[in-house]
Structure 1
Amino acid sequence: MITVADVEAAAERIAGHVVRTPTVPSSGLSAFLGADVTVKLELLQRTGSFKARGATAKLLALGEDERAAGVVAVSGGNHGIATAVMAGALGIEATVVMPRSAPGRAVDIAKAAGANVVLADTMDRAFALVEELRSGGLTLVHPFDDPVVIAAQGTVGLEMAEDAGELTDVLVSIGGGGLIAGVAAALHACRPGIRVWGVETAGARAMSEALAQGGPVPVELSSIVSTLSAPSASQLTYEHAAALVTDVLTVTDAEAVQGILDLAEHGKVWGEPAAGCLLPAARRVLERVGDGARLGLVVCGGNATIADVTEWADRFGLR
């Protein structure tokens, strides 16, 4: 299990390479949800999401031979962007494997950063291809199944604990579970008694299924939210979620897209579906915990284009 000491060490390692993003109260979202809301604005992070933290920590931890071999990453979007950009900044050759469903913007940014981008037909195939490339000698920068990466993602929670007012409940989106594992470890150490809630989409329920089955299992992926579409949780992230997360809530893709629109209108921030799904989940948390809740929302990324959101809104008949 990741400790707060691991997270603090990661914070020292990545300082100067990433941004200490704002943690601020949101009057607009507080009025919209009917409860005090504080937002952690990781969409303002370098590369547009929290993923820069874990990718940077892993790249900085590599030995000379590992760096010289070059790195490989698998991603639905944000981890690929982060690995490509941060590897480029550190002078490390990177290969990024993404499914063809990944946002075109993510592919373009990774290529522009100098990475070799390989597209696979499905996310399952992307993960399998990365294993082949690692066997061929490349150094893996895993998006979530790595204690170095998890500890660095936990710096989001460490900063929230230091910068936010009193919070009762923090909501974190889940793909493979690296972010929530690190955030929950940091928050529980710094603020005992706080509740941490995970959020998934109905077509990408890797952690929900792991918790239901007592361990990671493969899941079928059908969500439009590629950045949350891990084919399974890992044993490491599952164990953290089982021990530290109050519950994992599920929202629909349509709710996640509506959440983007609501974040823009009421929170004045431009999120992606992985962040938008927090708002419908927050309503369910408030129904369960009752009056007096003070929410913290980890707005994990903002790498969605206007064209993406417009297309999704039209598909689901949203306004």
Structure 2
Amino acid sequence: MIGITDVEAAAGRIAGHVVRTPTVPSPGLTALLGVPVTAKLELLQRTGSFKARGAVAKLLSLDADERAAGVVAVSGGNHGVALAAMAAALDVKATVVMPRSAPARSVRGAEDAGAVVRLTDGMPEAFALMERLRDEGLTAVHPFDDPVVIAGQGTVGLEFAEDAGELTDVLVSIGGGGLIAGVAAALRARRPGVRIWGVETEGAEAMSQALAAGGPVPVALSSIVSTLSAPSVSRLTYDHVSALVDEVLVVSDAEAVRGSLDLAEHAKVWTEPAAGCLLPAARRVVERVGDGTRLGLVVCGGNASIADMTAWAARFGPR
């Protein structure tokens, strides 16, 4: 389990390499949901998502031999692009393994940053290839099963705690659980009274199924939200969520897409469905908590193309 000192150390290490993203009240979302809403705009981070934090935290922790060996990561999109960009900035060779279902823009983004991209048939195969490349000598930068990466992601929660006004409930998206593990560790130390809610999409329910089973289990993936599609969580992220997070909510792909459309219309931000899923979950939280709710949303990423959003909107339609 990481603690607040780990997150604070990560914040000092990565300062100057990442953006301290805005934490802002959202009048549009406040009007839409009927309660005060504050958003942490991590979609304005380098490479368009929070992933740059954990990636550079890990890279900066490596010794000379590990850097010289080069690094390898598995990614549904954002982690790979972030690692490629941060590795290039630090003159470290990077290999990124992605499933063929990963967004084409993410593949191009990692390649344009100088990484070697290896494609596999699915996420389980991508994780297996990463492990083989690690065994061959590359240094693995796991997207979530690493305390250094989790501490890096936790700097999102540290900034949120420092910059936001009063909050009663904070919502965080879950893929493999690295972001929510780090954010929860920071918030439990700095805002101990705040309730923390995780959000997944149907067909990418690795954490909620792990909580039901009492530990990490492999899950079948069918969600369109590739950036949340981990084939399982890790024991490390499971332990953090089971200890620190109040509940994990699951929404449909259609709700996540409509959430992104609502965020564009009402909050004036362009998000991917991995962040859009927060909005339908927020409605449920407001219904359950009632009067006095003051929401915080960790808007984790904005790496959706116009073509993606147009296709998803045509498929699922507005509410």
When normalised by structure 1's length, the TM-score is 0.99
Q: 2 CA distance for matches of 1:205 and 1:191?
A: 27
Is 1:169 aligned to 2:169, yes or no?
Answer: yes
Q: 2 CA distance for matches of 1:28 and 1:92?
A: 42
Whether contact under 8 Å (2:153, 2:182) holds in the other structure is yes
Deviations 1:3-35 (A, max 9, x none): 000000000000000000000000000000111
Q: 2 CA distance for matches of 1:102 and 1:291?
A: 41
Q: 1 CA distance for matches of 2:304 and 2:297?
A: 18
Is 1:114 aligned to 2:114, yes or no?
Answer: yes
- Partner of 2:6: helix, strand, or coil? helix
Q: 2 CA distance for matches of 1:212 and 1:85?
A: 37
Equivalent position of 1:90 in the other structure = 90
Deviations 1:187-242 (A, max 9, x none): 01001111000000011000001100000000000000000000001000000000
Q: 2 CA distance for matches of 1:139 and 1:237?
A: 20
- Partner of 2:76: helix, strand, or coil? coil
Q: 2 CA distance for matches of 1:191 and 1:121?
A: 42
> 4+ residue stretches of structure 1 with deviation over 3 A?
none
Aligned-residue CA RMSD in angstroms?
0.6
Equivalent position of 1:252 in the other structure = 252
Deviations 1:286-316 (A, max 9, x none): 1111111000000000000010010111112
Equivalent position of 1:294 in the other structure = 294
Equivalent position of 2:22 in the other structure = 22
Q: 2 CA distance for matches of 1:227 and 1:199?
A: 13
Equivalent position of 1:138 in the other structure = 138
- Partner of 1:156: helix, strand, or coil? helix
Amino acid at match of 1:305: S
Deviations 1:160-179 (A, max 9, x none): 11000000000000000000
Amino acid at match of 2:178: G
Deviation at 1:317, TM superposition (A): 3.0
Equivalent position of 1:220 in the other structure = 220
Amino acid at match of 2:79: H
Deviation at 1:318, TM superposition (A): 3.2
Q: 1 CA distance for matches of 2:316 and 2:226?
A: 17
Q: 2 CA distance for matches of 1:218 and 1:289?
A: 32
Equivalent position of 1:266 in the other structure = 266
Q: 2 CA distance for matches of 1:118 and 1:315?
A: 30
Is 1:195 aligned to 2:203, yes or no?
Answer: no
Q: 2 CA distance for matches of 1:60 and 1:97?
A: 21
Equivalent position of 1:54 in the other structure = 54
Equivalent position of 1:77 in the other structure = 77
Deviations 1:231-272 (A, max 9, x none): 001000000000010000000000000011000000000000
Q: 2 CA distance for matches of 1:243 and 1:8?
A: 20
Is 1:237 aligned to 2:223, yes or no?
Answer: no
Is 1:277 aligned to 2:291, yes or no?
Answer: no
When normalised by structure 2's length, the TM-score is 0.99
Amino acid at match of 1:97: V
Q: 1 CA distance for matches of 2:291 and 2:129?
A: 49
Identity, % of aligned positions = 78
Q: 2 CA distance for matches of 1:35 and 1:305?
A: 30
Whether contact under 8 Å (2:258, 2:317) holds in the other structure is no
Whether contact under 8 Å (2:259, 2:280) holds in the other structure is yes
Equivalent position of 2:182 in the other structure = 182
Q: 2 CA distance for matches of 1:113 and 1:193?
A: 41
Deviations 1:18-68 (A, max 9, x none): 000000000000000111000000000001000000000000000111000
Equivalent position of 1:157 in the other structure = 157
Q: 2 CA distance for matches of 1:89 and 1:155?
A: 20
Amino acid at match of 2:39: V
- Partner of 1:154: helix, strand, or coil? helix
